[in-house]
Amino acid sequence: MKSAEADMTCPLSHERERVGVRADAKAHARELRTRTTEAEALLWQQLRGRRFQGFKFRRQRPLGPYILDFVCLEAGLVIEVDGWQHSDQHAYDQKRTELIKSQGLIVIRFWNHEVMNETPAVLEKIWQTLQALTPTLSRQRERGQDNQEPS
């Protein structure tokens, strides 16, 4: 059984997601998964399957009229990877960010070229943000990793 706190920190939980997501948004998200950018594919290789510090990320998840590039529900973190088209749509991105934040999520954005050329720095920024959002989880993971390493 889920705790009330878990429901508060996961506004896109599976149960809530199924209720409020339109079928066309799901179809659009599936389509986006099949045609990811090179930067998104590179980042997804680092994040998928709990490869990144044990956090579960999902990609191309619908939220209202928008599709989130990557989201970690347990931490409440959204990662957006923006290409050249975002340089001209500041108002759209601002509105999108406001909706995401209204759901209790934190957004960090990277440009495609940052992900491609500065991958370690991008991953470090993601890790720092995750630690700030989940200090208890981060300490537990660090202890668990320390215990697993041979002496």
- The CATH number for 4-142, chosen from 3.90.105.10, 3.40.960.10, 3.40.50.300, 3.30.479.30, is 3.40.960.10
pLDDT tens over the chain, length 151 residues: 444 444 444 445 544 444 445 556 555 455 655 667 899 999 999 999 999 999 999 998 888 888 899 999 999 999 999 886 655 678 888 888 999 999 999 999 999 999 999 999 999 999 999 999 987 765 566 666 544 444 4
* Residue ranges per structural domain of the chain: 4-142
Q: What is the pTM of this model?
A: 0.70
d(CA 101, CA 95): 10
Instruction: Specify whether the CB–CB gap between 28 and 67 falls below 8 A.
Output: yes
